Amino acid sequence: VEHRSLGTSGPRLSVLGFGAWVTGSDTASELPDAAGLRRAITAAIDAGYTWFDTAEIYARGGSEELLGEVLRPIRDRVLIVTKVAPSGAGSGMRPGEIARAIRESLGRLGVDHVDLYLLHWHDPSVPLEETWGAMAQLVEQGLSRYVGVSNFGYDLIARCQAVAPVHAVENQLSMLHRNGEELAARLSMEGVAFLAYGALAFGLLSGRVTPETILHPSDWRAGSFARYESNYYQELFARGRIESSYVFARGIAAIAADADLPASGVALRWVLERPGVSAAVVGSTDLEHVATNAQAGDLRLDEKTSRRIDELVSAHRTVAEETATAASARARG
């Protein structure tokens, strides 16, 4: 698997990271498939993944506990990323809450430090500068080697940077959600790493989820989870959207088949080839999928395949683009 640097100051890491949120769980529940996740993490280690992504809210700490247990024997060979979420969902973003949250995460993981600690999303009810000051202290105390943010736009990142360095940003980026593309390129000029999640559009681009797929009622992709109502779900999976997501995914699958590549590999490689992207984090409890995804770490898309993908991507309008067009039409009157 290809390796890249985590921004200008960070360590080398495999371009594929393993996501320890079992996709489909609503994050408030227990791990739906702990044994499967344990096997998948082991398969990911064997396939050459060197970093692993979790969060305090994934299965109420259950993901951290399981990840820590599997990684402990090889702790010095892998990077561990975890996150603190705003109060209500998680520990909270006040300085005292951040200091307590990381200690609890370290306890569940069974390690004395993590490699990257992220704010899971912005909490407008707490002054960001105070939160970020507390994050910088974690680095000084040796509790996390690097710190970053997730689901942040440029303006919020700049506010953090004014207080202390932001080493990495973990945001959604896929062929079906391209908002992160410009941000990744801009951040790389500032030496900040961009880690992409949702590169397979949560199973749509790999063909795992189609409009006919019957999802478990607690799966957020079925519309079960209020926090996702306004973004991921509405953008990709809601009725009226999933149909066009699927038409796009079939187009990618056809291009991939012509190049004798798996659709998942093409979707992952496309993300990895966006300027400024350091790595992508993918989730799976299917051992074959874990291995196939690792191969995307070494894939090269030939010129013809890349051109056909570009044509399809530029013809597909994301929700963000449709909203922007509608807004400018309104502004023109």
Ligand X SMILES: NC(=O)c1ccc[n+]([C@@H]2O[C@H](COP(=O)([O-])OP(=O)(O)OC[C@H]3O[C@@H](n4cnc5c(N)ncnc54)[C@H](OP(=O)(O)O)[C@@H]3O)[C@@H](O)[C@H]2O)c1
Q: Taking the C-alpha atoms of 180, 186, 187 and 193 in order, what is their torsion angle to the nearest 10 degrees?
A: 60
Q: Which of 200, 242, 261, 294 binds ligand X (CB under 6 A)?
A: 200
Q: Is 79 in the site for ligand X (CB under 6 A)?
A: no
Q: Taking the C-alpha atoms of 315, 186, 205 and 301 in order, what is their torsion angle to the nearest 10 degrees?
A: 80
Q: Which of 14, 44, 51, 53 binds ligand X (CB under 6 A)?
A: 53
Find the part of the chain contacting ligand X (CB under 6 A) among 4-12, 103-111, 181-189, 192-200: 192-200
Where do runs of H (alpha helix) occur along 149-206?
Answer: 154-161, 180-189
225 SS3 class: coil
- Residues in a beta bridge with 174: 177
Toward ligand X, which CB reaches closer, 18 or 132? 18
Which residue in 91, 94, 64, 62 sits closest to 80, CA to CA? 64
Q: Is 236 in the site for ligand X (CB under 6 A)?
A: no
Toward ligand X, which CB reaches closer, 49 or 132? 49
Which regions of 43-173 does DSSP assign to beta strands (E)?
51-53, 79-84, 114-119, 144-150, 168-172
Q: Which of 122, 167, 208, 269 binds ligand X (CB under 6 A)?
A: 208
**Interface of this chain with ligand X, residues 295 to 324, rule: CB under 6 A:** none
Q: Which of 151, 213, 218, 306 binds ligand X (CB under 6 A)?
A: 151
Find the distance separating the first CA and the last CA of the chain, reported in whole Å.
Answer: 52
95 SS3 class: helix
Q: Which of 68, 203, 276, 297 binds ligand X (CB under 6 A)?
A: 203
Catalytic residues: 58
Q: Is 202 in the site for ligand X (CB under 6 A)?
A: yes
Applying CB under 6 A, the residues found at the interface with ligand X are 19-21, 23, 53, 120, 150-151, 170, 197-203, 206, 208, 264, 281-286, 289, 292-293
